[in-house]
C-alpha cells in the first residue's frame, strides 16, 4: 500500500494530490475508469466519483458514471475501448472495496492495477496504472450483504474527496504538463 488516509484527513488529501500529479507528468493524457454500479450502495463509489468529477472538470476523460457505469458486465469492453481511444494514456482506476473495521472510510492509493471484484469473489480483468480505492465497509463473512448495506453518507463523503482530488490532478496536468515537457526538450 502506497498511501492510506481517512477521507477527512487534509494532509492525506494533499499527499494524494501530490502523488497523482507526480505520477502523470510523463503522460500526454489521463483517463479515469470508475468501476462499480449504482444498484448497490457500497459499490456506487466509482460511478459517483465519475459523476462528481465530470461536474467539477468537464474535460476530464472519465469512464464510469451513475448514468453509464462500468461494472462486471461491461468492464472488458470498456478496457478495449479505452486502450483503442487512448493508447498512451495514464489510467487511474477507482473502485470501492471492503476492508478491516479500523480502515473503513479510508482512501488508498496503490501503484498497481485495480483487481475489481475480488471482495465478492469475481474474476475480472485488471485495469489501470494506479488504483484509488475507498474502503466502504468491513470485509469477511457474506460480502454481498455487507456491500449492499453500506451507508450512502460514507460513499458520498469519500466520493467528494476522490473526485475533487482527481479534478485538481487533471487541471494541473492540463495546465503544467505541456510547460514541463517543453523544458525537457
pLDDT number for residue 181: 53
pLDDT number for residue 176: 79
For residues 185 and 175, the model is more confident at 175
What is the mean predicted confidence (pLDDT) over 5-23?
A: 96
For residues 64 and 151, the model is more confident at 64
The SS3 of residue 139 is coil
For residues 175 and 147, the model is more confident at 175
Residue 140 pLDDT > 90:
no
What is the mean predicted confidence (pLDDT) over 104-130?
A: 88
Burial (0-12, 13-18, 19+ Cβ within 10 Å), 45: buried
In the chain, the percentage of residues whose pLDDT exceeds 70 is 87
Residue 178 pLDDT > 70:
no
d(CA 133, CA 93) in angstroms, rounded, equals 8
What is the mean predicted confidence (pLDDT) over 115-142?
A: 83
What is the mean predicted confidence (pLDDT) over 120-133?
A: 88
Find out whether 37 and 47 touch, Cβ atoms under 8 Å: yes
Tens digits of per-residue pLDDT, 155-164?
999 999 999 9
pLDDT number for residue 146: 58
Average pLDDT, the chain: 89
Q: Assign 185 a pLDDT band (cuts: 50, 70, 90).
A: very low
Q: Which CATH architecture has domain 3-176?
A: 3-Layer(aba) Sandwich (3.40)
Find out whether 131 and 113 touch, Cβ atoms under 8 Å: yes
| Of 43-47, 54-58, 78-82, 140-144, the least confident | 140-144
- Domains of the chain, residue spans: 3-176
Residue 183 pLDDT > 50:
no
The SS3 of residue 20 is helix
Amino acid at each position: 500500500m502506497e498511501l492510506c488516509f481517512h477521507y477527512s484527513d487534509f494532509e492525506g488529501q494533499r499527499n494524494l494530490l501530490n502523488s497523482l500529479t507526480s505520477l502523470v507528468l510523463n503522460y500526454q493524457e489521463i483517463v479515469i475508469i470508475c468501476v462499480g454500479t449504482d444498484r448497490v450502495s457500497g459499490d456506487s463509489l466509482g460511478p459517483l466519483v465519475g459523476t462528481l468529477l465530470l461536474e467539477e472538470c468537464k474535460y476530464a476523460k472519465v469512464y464510469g458514471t451513475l448514468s453509464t457505469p462500468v461494472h462486471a458486465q461491461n468492464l472488458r469492453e470498456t478496457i478495449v475501448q479505452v486502450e483503442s481511444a487512448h493508447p498512451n494514456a495514464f489510467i487511474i482506476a477507482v473502485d470501492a472495496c471492503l476492508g478491516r473495521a479500523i480502515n473503513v472510510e479510508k482512501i488508498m492509493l496503490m501503484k498497481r492495477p485495480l483487481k475489481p471484484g475480488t471482495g465478492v469473489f469475481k474474476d475480472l480483468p485488471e485495469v489501470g496504472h494506479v488504483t484509488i480505492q475507498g474502503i466502504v465497509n468491513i470485509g469477511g463473512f457474506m460480502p454481498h450483504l455487507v456491500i449492499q448495506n453500506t451507508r450512502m453518507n460514507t460513499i458520498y463523503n469519500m466520493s467528494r474527496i476522490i473526485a475533487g482530488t482527481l479534478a485538481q490532478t487533471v487541471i494541473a496536468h492540463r495546465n503544467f504538463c505541456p510547460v514541463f515537457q517543453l523544458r525537457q526538450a
